[in-house]
Structure 1
Amino acid sequence: MLFEGLELVSALATLAACLVSVTLLLAVSQQLWQLRWAATRDKSCKLPIPKGSMGFPLIGETGHWLLQVFSKVFSHEALQSYLPKIQLVVQDTLRAWSSNPEAINVYQETQKLTFRMAIRVLLGFSIPEEDLGHLFEVYQQFVENVFSLPVDLPFSGYRRGIQARQILQKGLEKAIREKLQCTQGKDYSDALDILIESSKEHGKEMTMQELKDGTLELIFAAYATTASASTSLIMQLLKHPAVLEKLREELRAQGILHSGGCPCEGTLRLDTLSGLHYLDCVIKEVMRLFTPISGGYRTVLQTFELDGFQIPKGWSVMYSIRDTHDTAPVFKDVNVFDPDRFGQARSEDKDGRFHYLPFGGGVRSCLGKHLAKLFLKVLAVELASTSRFELATRTFPRITLVPVLHPVDGLSVKFFGLDSNQNKILPETEAMLSATV
C-alpha cells in the first residue's frame, strides 16, 4: 500500500514537472518573439506586434497596405529592373572568388553576397566598400543574437543584439538620408523607392524610423535563407557534374553560351530565364531537398478536425516544410537529387496543392519568393557559364538545420578563372598573362 502511494506521488510529481516545463517553454518562446520584435523595432515605433506567428513575420504583417506596397516591390516590372544589377553583383563576386588563390568558405561568402545584393540592388544604397564590410559584421552580430534570452545584462546576447541594432539603424539612417538627397542618375526604381512612393499613395508617408525598420526587414528577408539556398545549389552542382553539364547544354541551346564554351555578351532578361526549363527544375529540386527553413506558423481561423483531433479556432499551429517534402506521395526516391522530377515528362509537383511548398503556401506564402528564385537562377547561370570550381576537402561536410540549413564547416571550395574556352586559369598562369612583356 505504501509502495502504491509512493508510485502515485512520483507520477504526480512527474506530471507537475512536465506541466512546469511546458509552461516555461511557452513563456520563453513568447519572450523570444517579443525580443525579436524589440530588437528590430525602435521603442518609438507604434506598429503593433503581429499575431499568429511565433517566428519571423512575413513582410506585410504590420498592415494590409504594406502587402500592396511589397507586391509592387516584387512585381514582374520590378524584378526586370533588378535583374541587370543582380547579374553584375554576382559576376563581380565570382571574379573575386576566382582570383583568390585559396579556397573560400562558400556559406560565409554567400552571406556576404546576399547582403551586398540587398544593399546595392534592393535598396540602392551607395555605401563605400569599407563601410559595407563593417555594416555586414554588425549585421551578423545582430542576427546571431536575435534569439538570445531576454536578459538585459552587460555582455549578454540580448545586450549585444540591441547594441548591434542601434549601430545598424544609425548606418541605415545615414544611407537613407544620402539616398533621399541624391535622386539624379537613377536608371531604375529600387525597393526602397517603391516603398516610399507607394506609402505616399496610400496616405501613409513613412517616418525615418519606419523607413529604417522597413529597410532592416528587407535586408533580413534577402539574407539568411537565400545564402542557405545558394550554398546548397553550389554543393549540388559539385556533387552532380552531369547536372551541371546538362545545364550548360541548355545555356548553349538558348544562345547564352557559345558552342566553344565562352559566355555570350549581354545581360540576362526575365523572358530568357523563363525559357530555361532545366534551370527551373534544378532550382526547384534544390529548394525541395534543401529547404532553408523547417516550417512556419499560422493562426487557426476556423475550428477543424485533423486525424481525429480537433484544432480550435485561435490556436497557433506549425506546418513542417521538410516533413511535407519527405512524405509527399508524389515524389519518388525523395532522398535523391533529381531535377528531372520537375520536367514535363514527370511533373511530380503538379499533383496536389501543398506537396511542394519551399516558400510556404496559401495567401501567406513568401512575398519575396520570385526575387529569391531569380537570384538563384542568375547565380546558377553565371556559375555554369563563367566558373570552374572544385571541392577543397576530401569529403562533403555534414549538414546542420539550425538556424537555417547549411554545411557545418561552410563548404570549402576552390574557384578558378577561365579563359575564352572555359579552361581553368591557375594563379601562376594568371600572373604570367598579366605580366608586362
Structure 2
Amino acid sequence: MLFEGLELVSALATLAACLVSVTLLLAVSQQLWQLRWAATRDKSCKLPIPKGSMGFPLIGETGHWLLQVFSKIFSHEALESYLPKIQLVIQDTLRAWSSHPEAINVYQEAQKLTFRMAIRVLLGFSIPEEDLGHLFEVYQQFVENVFSLPVDLPFSGYRRGIRARQILQKGLEKAIREKLQCTQGKDYSDALDILIESSKEHGKEMTMQELKDGTLELIFAAYATTASASTSLIMQLLKHPAVLEKLREELRAQGILHSGGCPCEGTLRLDTLSGLHYLDCVIKEVMRLFTPVSGGYRTVLQTFELDGFQIPKGWSVMYSIRDTHDTAPVFKDVNVFDPDRFGQARSEDKDGRFHYLPFGGGVRTCLGKHLAKLFLKVLAVELASTSRFELATRTFPRITLVPVLHPVDGLSVKFFGLDSNQNKILPETEAMLSATV
C-alpha cells in the first residue's frame, strides 16, 4: 500500500508538472507574439495590436476600418495589378540564380526575394539596388532579434533589434517621402497607396510614424512565411521530378509552354493561373506538408467543452496547424507528398471545415493568403518553364521548425540558364572542360 501511495503521489506530481509546463508554454507563447508585434512599431503608434491572432498586426478589435482597407489590398483587382510586377521580380531573381557560378543557399535567397517583392511590388518603393541590399541586411538583424527578451542592456539582442528598427524606419521614411512626392507615371495602386487613400476616406489620416510602422509590419507579414514556403516548394520539385514534369505538361496544355519546351511570350493573368488545377494541387500539398507556421493562439469568447474538458471564457488556447494536418482523417498517407490528393478525383480537403488550415481558420484567417498563394504559383510556373536546377549536396537537409519551417543548411541548389529548347547553358569554363577534342 505504501508503494502504491508513493506511485500515486508521483503520478499526481508529474501531472501537476505537466499542467504547469503547458500553462507556462501558453503564457510565454502569447507574450512572445505580443512582443513580436510590439517590436515592429514605435511606442507612439496608435494602431491596435491584435488579441488572440497571428494575422496582420494592424487588425485589432478597434480597427474595423482596417479590415476594409486590407480587403482592398488583397482584392482580385489588386492582385491582378500586382501580378506582372511579381512575375518580373521572380524572373529577374531566377536569372540571377542561374548566372551564379556556384550553388546558392535557397532559403537565404528566398528571403531576399520575398523582401524585394514586398519593397518593389507591395509598397512600390523605388530604392536603388545597392541601398535595397543594405536595407535587407538591417532587416535581417531586426528579424533575428524580434524574439529577444525585452531587457535593454548594451550588446543585448533587444538593443540590437531596436537599433536595427531605428535604421529601418529611417530608410523607410525616406522611401515614403519620395513616394508621396512622386505620384506621376504609376500604372497601378500598391498596398501602401491603398492604405493611405482608404485611411483618408475613413477620416483617419495616418501620421508618418504610423505609416512607417504599418510599412514595416506589411514587410514582416510577407517575409518569413513566404520565404519558407518558397524553399519548401523548390525542395519538393527537386525531390519529385515526376511532379515537376506533370506541371510542365499542364503548362504546355494551357499554352504557357511551347511543345518544344520554351516559354510562350506574354505575362501571366489571374484567370490563366486559376485554370492551372494541378499547379493549385501542388501549392496546396506544399502548404499541407510544410506549413511555415506551426500554429497560433486564440482567446476563448464563450465557455465550451472539448472531449469532456471545460474551456472557460477568457482563456488563451493554442491550436496546432501541423498536428491537425497530420491527424486529420480525411488525408491518406499523410507523410507522402501527393498533390493528386487535392485533385477532383479525390478532393481530400473538401470533407470537413477545419482539416486543412495552412493559413489559420475562422474570421482571423490570414488576410494575405491569396497574395501568398499567387506568389507561390508564379514562382512554380517560372521554375517549371524557365529553370533547370539540381541539388548541390549528396542528401537533402533535415528540416527545423523554428522560428519558421526551413532546411537547416538553407538548401544548396545549383541553377542553370536555359537555351530556347530548355537545355542547360553551362558556364564557359564548364563548357570548355566538357568539350571533346
Q: Give the TM-score taking structure 1 as reference length.
A: 0.93
Following the alignment from structure 2 to structure 1, what is the Cα–Cα distance between the partners of residues 153 and 56? Answer: 24
Cα 1:277–1:130 change in 2 (3 A) is: same
Query: 1:40 Cα shift?
Result: 1.2
Query: 1:314 Cα shift?
Result: 1.2
Query: 1:28 Cα shift?
Result: 4.9
Q: Could you say which residue in structure 2 is the equivalent of 1:358?
A: 358
Query: 1:405 Cα shift?
Result: 0.4
- Residue 301 of structure 1 aligns to a residue in which SS? coil
User: Please, what is the CA RMSD of the aligned residues?
Assistant: 3.2
Whether the 8 Å contact between 1:45 and 1:209 is mirrored in structure 2 is: yes
Whether the 8 Å contact between 2:122 and 2:190 is mirrored in structure 1 is: yes
Query: In terms of mean alpha carbon deviation, does 205-214 or 227-236 score higher?
Result: 205-214
Cα 1:58–1:384 change in 2 (3 A) is: farther
Unaligned runs of 5+ in 2: none
Whether the 8 Å contact between 2:37 and 2:57 is mirrored in structure 1 is: no
Q: Could you say which residue in structure 2 is the equivalent of 1:341?
A: 341
Following the alignment from structure 1 to structure 2, what is the Cα–Cα distance between the partners of residues 404 and 382? Answer: 25
Whether the 8 Å contact between 2:56 and 2:367 is mirrored in structure 1 is: no
Following the alignment from structure 1 to structure 2, what is the Cα–Cα distance between the partners of residues 275 and 5? Answer: 67
Whether the 8 Å contact between 2:392 and 2:412 is mirrored in structure 1 is: yes
Following the alignment from structure 1 to structure 2, what is the Cα–Cα distance between the partners of residues 307 and 279? Answer: 38
Q: Deviations over 1:8-60 (max 9, x none)?
A: 99999999988987776666556534533432111111234432348974755
The answer to whether residue 80 in structure 2 is matched with residue 80 in structure 1 is yes
Whether the 8 Å contact between 1:32 and 1:150 is mirrored in structure 2 is: no
Following the alignment from structure 1 to structure 2, what is the Cα–Cα distance between the partners of residues 61 and 171? Answer: 30
Query: 1:317 Cα shift?
Result: 1.0
- Residue 24 of structure 1 aligns to a residue in which SS? helix
Query: In terms of mean alpha carbon deviation, does 202-211 or 32-41 score higher?
Result: 32-41
Query: 1:315 Cα shift?
Result: 1.1
Cα 1:37–1:337 change in 2 (3 A) is: closer
Query: In terms of mean alpha carbon deviation, does 300-309 or 421-430 score higher?
Result: 421-430
Query: 1:300 Cα shift?
Result: 1.0
- Residue 389 of structure 2 aligns to a residue in which SS? strand
Whether the 8 Å contact between 1:125 and 1:175 is mirrored in structure 2 is: yes
Query: 1:61 Cα shift?
Result: 5.7
Q: Deviations over 1:275-326 (max 9, x none)?
A: 0000000000000000000011111111110000001111111111100100
Following the alignment from structure 1 to structure 2, what is the Cα–Cα distance between the partners of residues 304 and 24? Answer: 22
Query: In terms of mean alpha carbon deviation, does 55-64 or 373-382 score higher?
Result: 55-64
Following the alignment from structure 2 to structure 1, what is the Cα–Cα distance between the partners of residues 222 and 142? Answer: 15
Whether the 8 Å contact between 2:49 and 2:59 is mirrored in structure 1 is: no
Q: Deviations over 1:133-159 (max 9, x none)?
A: 011011111111111111110000011
The answer to whether residue 251 in structure 2 is matched with residue 251 in structure 1 is yes
Following the alignment from structure 1 to structure 2, what is the Cα–Cα distance between the partners of residues 359 and 220? Answer: 16
Cα 1:174–1:13 change in 2 (3 A) is: same
Query: 1:436 Cα shift?
Result: 22
Following the alignment from structure 1 to structure 2, what is the Cα–Cα distance between the partners of residues 427 and 355? Answer: 47
Q: Deviations over 1:93-139 (max 9, x none)?
A: 00000000100000000000000000000000000111100110111
Following the alignment from structure 2 to structure 1, what is the Cα–Cα distance between the partners of residues 376 and 255? Answer: 20
Following the alignment from structure 1 to structure 2, what is the Cα–Cα distance between the partners of residues 126 and 211? Answer: 17
Cα 1:33–1:288 change in 2 (3 A) is: closer
Following the alignment from structure 2 to structure 1, what is the Cα–Cα distance between the partners of residues 17 and 284? Answer: 45
Following the alignment from structure 2 to structure 1, what is the Cα–Cα distance between the partners of residues 259 and 2? Answer: 87
Query: 1:84 Cα shift?
Result: 0.2
Following the alignment from structure 1 to structure 2, what is the Cα–Cα distance between the partners of residues 351 and 127? Answer: 47
Cα 1:222–1:19 change in 2 (3 A) is: closer
Following the alignment from structure 1 to structure 2, what is the Cα–Cα distance between the partners of residues 141 and 78? Answer: 31
- Residue 415 of structure 2 aligns to a residue in which SS? strand
Query: 1:7 Cα shift?
Result: 11
Cα 1:293–1:20 change in 2 (3 A) is: closer
Q: Give the TM-score taking structure 2 as reference length.
A: 0.93
Following the alignment from structure 1 to structure 2, what is the Cα–Cα distance between the partners of residues 54 and 267? Answer: 33
Identity rate of aligned residues, in percent?
A: 98
Following the alignment from structure 2 to structure 1, what is the Cα–Cα distance between the partners of residues 412 and 198? Answer: 43
Following the alignment from structure 1 to structure 2, what is the Cα–Cα distance between the partners of residues 232 and 225? Answer: 11
Query: 1:6 Cα shift?
Result: 11
Q: Could you say which residue in structure 2 is the equivalent of 1:296?
A: 296
Cα 1:190–1:361 change in 2 (3 A) is: same
Query: 1:429 Cα shift?
Result: 7.3
Following the alignment from structure 1 to structure 2, what is the Cα–Cα distance between the partners of residues 108 and 318? Answer: 30
Whether the 8 Å contact between 1:293 and 1:405 is mirrored in structure 2 is: yes
Q: Could you say which residue in structure 2 is the equivalent of 1:266?
A: 266
Whether the 8 Å contact between 2:48 and 2:60 is mirrored in structure 1 is: no
Query: 1:362 Cα shift?
Result: 1.2
Whether the 8 Å contact between 1:84 and 1:268 is mirrored in structure 2 is: yes
Equivalences for 1:4-43 in 2 at 5 Å? Answer: 28-29=28-29, 31-43=31-43
Cα 1:173–1:13 change in 2 (3 A) is: same
